[in-house]
A and B are shown apart, each in its own frame.
Chain A
Amino acid sequence: MKMKKVFALLLSVAMLASVTACGNDNNNTVSNTTDSSSAADESTEASSEETAEELPVVSEEEDTITIMVPPVTGTYTEKLAVWAKEFEDMYPHLHIEVIATSWDEHGSKLTTMALAGEAPDIAEVSYGAIGTYVEMGTAINIADYMEAGRLDDYDQNALDYMTLENTLYGLPLYITIQALGGNREMMEAVGADVAKIQTEGWTYEEFLDVIAAGTTNDIYGFVFGNSGVTTADFVSIFGVSAGISSSFTEDLKYAYTSENMLALLEAVETMTSSGYMPDYAVEAAQRLVMLETGEAMVVGKAMPLFESNVKKNNAGIADGTAADGSIEVEYVFLPVPTMEGATESVFGSVDGFIAMRNNNTTDEHLKNVCLFLDYICSGERAASVYTELYLTCVCESGRQIQSAFELDQSELNAAATARAISKVNAPPTGITAEMSAGAKTIMDEVIVPKFQALLAGETTAKDMYDIVCSAAYETFGQDNCASGWVK
Chain B
Amino acid sequence: MRKKSNQYTKLPARRHKWLSSENLSGWGFILAAMIVFAFFTLYPVISAVFTSLQDYKPFGSAWVGFKNYTDAVKSTLFWKSIKNTLLYTAAVVPLSLLIAFVIAIMILPFEKKTQSVFKALYYLPGIASGVATAVVWLWLYDSSPSGIFNQLLGLFGVSSVNWLSSSNTAMFSLILMALLSSHGSNVIIYMAALHGIDNTYFEAAEMDGATFMHKVRYIVFPLCKPTTLFLLVTGIIGSFQVFMNAYMMTGGGPDNNTTMIGLLIFNNAFNYGKYGLACAQAIMLAIVIAALTMVQFKVMGEDVEY
Contact = CB atoms under 8 A, between A and B. Distances in A.
Nearest to B272: A441
Contact of B271 (A9, A15, A108, A116): A108
B13 interface: no
Interface stretch (B189-197, B224-232, B251-259): B251-259
A107 B58 contact: no
A108 B56 CA distance: 17
A228 interface: yes
Contacts of A9: 25, 28-29
A108 B270 contact: yes
A137 B59 contact: yes
Nearest to A18: B32
Contact of B252 (A12, A357, A441, A449): A449
B59 A452 contact: no
A190 interface: no
A396 to B, nearest CB: 35
Interface in A197-216: none
A456 B166 contact: yes
B173 interface: no
A135 B56 CA distance: 11
A132 B273 contact: yes
Contacts of B57: 136-137
Interface string B247-269: 00011111110010000000101
B31 interface: yes
Given A16-B35, A280-B143, A445-B77, A455 B28 contact: no
13 contacts: A8-B29, A111-B270, A115-B58, A115-B269, A116-B58, A136-B57, A280-B144, A440-B272, A441-B272, A444-B267, A452-B254, A458-B254, A458-B255
Contacts of A437: 272
A132 B272 CA distance: 7
Contact of B165 (A5, A15, A108, A456): A456
A107 B267 CA distance: 11
B36 A19 contact: yes
Contacts of B253: 228, 448-449, 452-453
Nearest to B59: A137
Interface residues of A, number: 46
Minimum-distance CB pairs A-B, first 8: A280-B143, A452-B254, A453-B255, A16-B32, A281-B165, A117-B58, A228-B251, A108-B270
Interface of B: 25, 28-29, 31-32, 35-36, 56-60, 77, 143-144, 160, 162, 164-168, 250-256, 259, 267, 269-273, 275
A5 B27 CA distance: 12
Interface in A122-151: 132, 135-138
Contacts of B255: 449-450, 452-453, 458-459
A112 B270 contact: yes
Central interface residue in A138, A227, A445, A448, by most chain B CB within 10 Å = A445
B59 A13 contact: no
- DSSP class of B's interface residues: helix, strand, loop or mixed? loop
Nearest to A133: B273
B23 to A, nearest CB: 12
Contacts of A116: 58
Contacts, number: 107
A456 B250 CA distance: 14
A19 B41 CA distance: 14
B147 to A, nearest CB: 9
Given A452-B165, A459-B255, 8 more contacts: A9-B29, A12-B29, A16-B36, A111-B271, A117-B58, A279-B162, A280-B144, A281-B143
Interface of A: 5, 8-9, 12-13, 15-16, 19, 107-108, 111-112, 114-117, 119, 132, 135-138, 227-229, 278-282, 286, 357, 437, 440-441, 444-445, 448-450, 452-453, 455-456, 458-459
Contacts of A281: 143, 162, 164-165
Nearest to B61: A137
Given A444-B272, A456-B165, A456-B167, A138 B254 contact: no
A116 B51 CA distance: 12
B232 to A, nearest CB: 30
Contacts of B259: 449
A443 to B, nearest CB: 11
Contact of A138 (B59, B143, B144, B256): B59
Contacts of B56: 115
B58 A136 contact: yes
Contacts of B58: 114-117, 119, 136-138, 357
A135 B273 contact: yes
B36 A111 contact: no
A280 B304 CA distance: 50
Given A112-B270, A458-B255, A357 B167 contact: no
B92 to A, nearest CB: 23
B288 to A, nearest CB: 22
A229 B254 CA distance: 11
A468 B269 CA distance: 23
Contacts of B77: 445
A326 B203 CA distance: 68
Nearest to A14: B32
Contacts of B167: 453, 456, 458
A441 B144 CA distance: 30
Contacts of A112: 269-270
A108 B165 CA distance: 23
B129 to A, nearest CB: 15
A444 B273 contact: no
Nearest to A453: B255
Given A15-B32, A16-B32, A456 B254 contact: yes
Q: Which of A5, A107, A117 has the most CB of B within 10 A?
A: A5
Contacts of A8: 25, 29
Contacts of B166: 456, 458
Contacts of A108: 270-271
Contacts of B267: 444
Most buried by A among B56, B144, B269: B144
Contacts of B272: 111, 132, 437, 440-441, 444
Contacts of A456: 162, 165-167, 254
Contacts of A282: 144
A117 B77 CA distance: 29
Contacts of B273: 111, 114-115, 132, 135-136
